[in-house]
């Protein structure tokens, strides 16, 4: 186990609704990254939070937003859900250090289905 927990494990929403996904990072980690993984594809980087601020963003529209809390846990919010948002959403935590070799530890993901 990686020590990274995500909730819920599965979620079903309808088009136009809003959803919040949650992630508890591994103890001692200060950085959380969110990824979207469509079926049969590799994960796509959504954004990263470091010390409660966004620290890099992928090619996702503004309706994808996030938060990181003082305890370094994080939320991913998606507004105005679209059918193509159906995917596995992965959260990864890491400890940002002076090097770039920060190993990211992934949670098991939240499977979101948009009907």
Q: Is 74 in the site for other proteins (CB under 8 A)?
A: no
Interior angle at CA 39, CA 107 and CA 67, nearest 5: 40
Binding to other proteins, residues 42-71 (CB under 8 A): 42-45, 48, 50, 55-56, 58
Pick the stretch among 12-20, 67-75, 79-87, 99-107 that binds other proteins (CB under 8 A).
99-107
Give 16 or 61: the residue with its C-beta nearer to other proteins: 61
Instruction: State the alpha helices, DSSP H only, in 1-115.
Output: none
Got the DSSP string for 29-69? --EEEEEEE-TTS--EEEEEEETTEEEEE-S--TTEEEEE-
DSSP state of 3: S
Site string for other proteins, 2-41 (x = CB under 8 A): x-x--------------------------x-x-x----xx
**83 — phi, psi (to 5°)?**
-55, -35
> What are the tokens at 45?
């980087």
Residues that bind other proteins (CB under 8 A): 2, 4, 31, 33, 35, 40-45, 48, 50, 55-56, 58, 90, 92, 94, 96, 100-109
């Amino acid at each position: 186990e990686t020590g990274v927990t995500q909730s819920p494990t599965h979620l079903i929403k309808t088009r136009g609704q809003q959803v919040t996904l949650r992630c508890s990072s591994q103890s001692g980690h200060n950085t959380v990254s969110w990824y979207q993984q469509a079926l049969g594809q590799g994960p796509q980087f959504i954004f990263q939070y470091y010390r409660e601020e966004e620290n890099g963003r992928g090619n996702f529209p503004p309706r994808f937003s996030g938060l990181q809390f003082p305890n370094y846990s994080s939320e991913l919010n998606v507004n105005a859900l679209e059918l193509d948002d159906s995917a596995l959403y992965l959260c990864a935590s890491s400890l940002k250090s002076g090097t770039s070799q920060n190993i990211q530890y992934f949670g098991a993901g939240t499977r979101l289905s948009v009907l």
